[in-house]
């Protein structure tokens, strides 16, 4: 068995026991899967857009959301594929209305969510919203959707919502497999295709059961705006690489690029790792205050093209993965903080025949290297930095 397969095998075996109390439920999920539990046709490539959480947390209002939509368009980011404008926790009143419906916060969202959806749709964008598979959301400022799945899914559809992030707080100790598929079915009945983002923090290894349930699934708890936390999110996510495919992606959490606590070269690593890992590319900074470096990183069309490649194969450590047209994306990462390193990609480790001659395109320098490579490629990489290439076999 090759190393990657062996790792997956070991993980699966280890997980078996932690999942056995859910095995009956998993069978349920499987039998529903035969009728395609989640057949919404969405997420054929990883979703791209913006989400309010990483910068604003629950302190949001409709002005912030509208402004984010405006800047996505005016900055040119929407044309590069960033089309989801996602409202996270904090958009609702603490109590449901007399009919049990969720109510937008009257002070901070006085125009309501439908008006926001209409607003972003007119700009050619899509609107995302947030709910929780529990009794209250994580910020505890609004009710959760547990027990109200069908009603809330219908509400979201009636507002014109296109994306639902479904969190995992205050869940009464009920296992994710007893909560998330109920919302999947509710969304399927709601009459509008809604991208379904499972956010159970990797708790019950959702990569193993997520494909018929959601369009993506978080593989760990939250990211933070620092190097260690960022790199450890993608390392955990890497374990499940074999489970990612068009329609269902591993989600190492949203981007911190532009939030200010990492260096530019560290944000380049962050964005490159997320792109090559086919992670959702959800910007998490204040778009109105983006500096030139932030916009340059988020706008790198060559790196975005790796993320959005139709083959949809997640790259693995040593951080390489196949692209369409027999090309290979490779990312050479120097994790040392204090010294530059020579890093080598051996063709055998990145899925190329050792005799293959390739042309290398540097995705951050935007240049095709004059030298051709065969068998391996060695480059010098600065501390906490990376080089990212697309290798194209030449005849
Ligand atoms: C929304 O929040 C921003 C930033 O905190 C603030 O400047 C603005 O006045 C708020 N607008 C509304 C309508 O609450």
Judge if the beta carbon of residue 111 lies within 6 A of ligand 1: no
Q: How far is the CA of 7 from the centre of ligand 1 (A)?
A: 48
Q: Of residues 118, 203, 221, 222, which has the active-site annotation?
A: 222
The band of 35, judged by pLDDT with boundaries at 50, 70 and 90, is very low
Interatomic CA distance for residues 254 and 284, integer angstroms: 6
Q: Check residue 12 and give its pLDDT.
A: 53
Residue 222 is among the residues annotated as catalytic for this protein? yes
The band of 5, judged by pLDDT with boundaries at 50, 70 and 90, is low
Q: How far is the CA of 284 from the centre of ligand 1 (A)?
A: 18
Q: Given a cut of 70, is residue 42 above it in pLDDT? A: yes
Contact present, 253 and 233 (Cβ < 8 Å): yes
pTM recorded for the entire structure:
0.91
Tally of helices (H runs) and strands (E runs) in the chain:
11, 15
Tens digits of residue pLDDT in 282-317:
999 999 999 999 999 999 999 999 999 999 999 998
More confident: 47 or 31: 47
Judge if the beta carbon of residue 61 lies within 6 A of ligand 1: yes
Judge if the beta carbon of residue 32 lies within 6 A of ligand 1: no
Judge if the beta carbon of residue 55 lies within 6 A of ligand 1: no
Interatomic CA distance for residues 312 and 119, integer angstroms: 31
For residue 107, the ligand 1 atom closest to its alpha carbon is: 14
Smallest Cα–Cα separation from 332: which of 293, 362, 308?
362
* Contacts with 203 (C-beta within 8 Å, 6 or more apart), sequence order: 168, 176
Judge if the beta carbon of residue 178 lies within 6 A of ligand 1: no
The band of 256, judged by pLDDT with boundaries at 50, 70 and 90, is very high
Q: Which of 57, 60, 63, 106 is the best mutation target for the ligand 1 pocket, counting ligand atoms within 8 Å of the beta carbon and taking the most?
A: 63
Give nearest CA residue, ligand 1 atom 4: 64
For residue 61, the ligand 1 atom closest to its alpha carbon is: 1
The band of 63, judged by pLDDT with boundaries at 50, 70 and 90, is very high
For residue 110, the ligand 1 atom closest to its alpha carbon is: 13
Q: Check residue 160 and give its pLDDT.
A: 98
Kindly provide the b/e burial profile for residues 361-371, where b requires at least 16 CB atoms within 10 angstroms of the residue's own CB: bebbeeeeeee
Residue 123 falls in which region: left (phi positive, over 0), alpha (psi -120 to 50) or beta: alpha
Q: Check residue 21 and give its pLDDT.
A: 46
Q: Given a cut of 60, is residue 339 above it in pLDDT? A: yes
Residue 292 is among the residues annotated as catalytic for this protein? no
The average confidence (pLDDT) of the chain is 93
Tens digits of residue pLDDT in 143-177:
999 999 999 999 999 999 999 999 999 999 999 99
Instruction: Supply the DSSP string of 17-36, one letter for each residue.
Output: HHHGGGHHHHHHHHHHHHT-
Tens digits of residue pLDDT in 73-95:
999 999 999 999 999 999 999 99
- Give, as one character, the DSSP assignment of residue 213: T
Q: Which of 64, 105, 109, 111 is the best mutation target for the ligand 1 pocket, counting ligand atoms within 8 Å of the beta carbon and taking the most?
A: 64
More confident: 363 or 10: 363
């Amino acid at each position: 068995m090759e190393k990657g397969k062996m790792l997956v095998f070991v993980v699966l075996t280890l997980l078996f026991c932690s999942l056995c109390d859910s095995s009956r439920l998993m069978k349920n999920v499987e039998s529903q899967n035969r009728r395609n539990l989640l057949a919404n046709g969405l997420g054929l490539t990883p979703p791209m857009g913006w989400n309010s959480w990483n910068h604003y947390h629950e302190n949001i209002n409709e002005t912030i959301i509208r402004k984010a939509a405006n800047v996505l368009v005016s900055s040119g980011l929407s044309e590069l594929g960033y089309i989801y404008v996602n409202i996270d926790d904090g958009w609702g009143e603490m109590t449901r209305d007399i009919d049990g419906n969720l109510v937008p916060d009257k002070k901070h969202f006085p125009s309501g969510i439908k008006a926001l959806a209409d607003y972003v749709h007119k700009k050619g964008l899509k609107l995302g919203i947030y709910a929780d598979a529990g009794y209250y959301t994580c910020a505890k400022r609004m009710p959760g959707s547990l027990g109200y799945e069908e009603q809330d899914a219908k509400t979201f559809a009636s507002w014109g919502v296109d994306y639902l992030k479904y969190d995992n707080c205050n869940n009464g100790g009920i296992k994710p497999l007893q909560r998330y598929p109920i919302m999947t079915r509710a969304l399927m009945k709601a009459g509008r295709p809604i991208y379904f983002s499972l956010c159970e923090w990797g708790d019950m290894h959702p990569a193993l059961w997520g494909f018929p349930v959601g369009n993506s699934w978080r593989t760990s708890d939250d990211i933070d705006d620092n190097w260690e936390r960022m790199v450890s999110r993608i390392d955990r996510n890497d374990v499940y690489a074999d489970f990612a495919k068009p329609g269902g992606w591993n989600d190492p959490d949203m981007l911190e690029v532009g939030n200010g606590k990492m260096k530019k070269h560290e944000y380049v690593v962050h964005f490159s790792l997320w792109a090559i890992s086919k992670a959702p590319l959800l910007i998490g900074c204040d778009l109105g205050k983006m500096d030139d470096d932030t916009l340059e990183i988020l706008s790198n069309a060559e790196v975005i093209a790796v993320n959005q490649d139709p083959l949809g194969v997640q790259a693995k450590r040593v951080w390489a993965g196949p692209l369409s047209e027999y090309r290979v994306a490779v990312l050479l990462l120097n994790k040392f903080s204090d010294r530059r390193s020579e890093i080598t990609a051996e063709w055998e480790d990145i899925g190329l025949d050792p005799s293959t001659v390739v042309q290398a395109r540097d995705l951050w320098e935007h240049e095709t290297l004059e030298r051709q490579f065969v068998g391996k490629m060695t480059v010098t990489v600065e501390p906490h930095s990376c080089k990212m290439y697309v290798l194209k076999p030449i005849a």
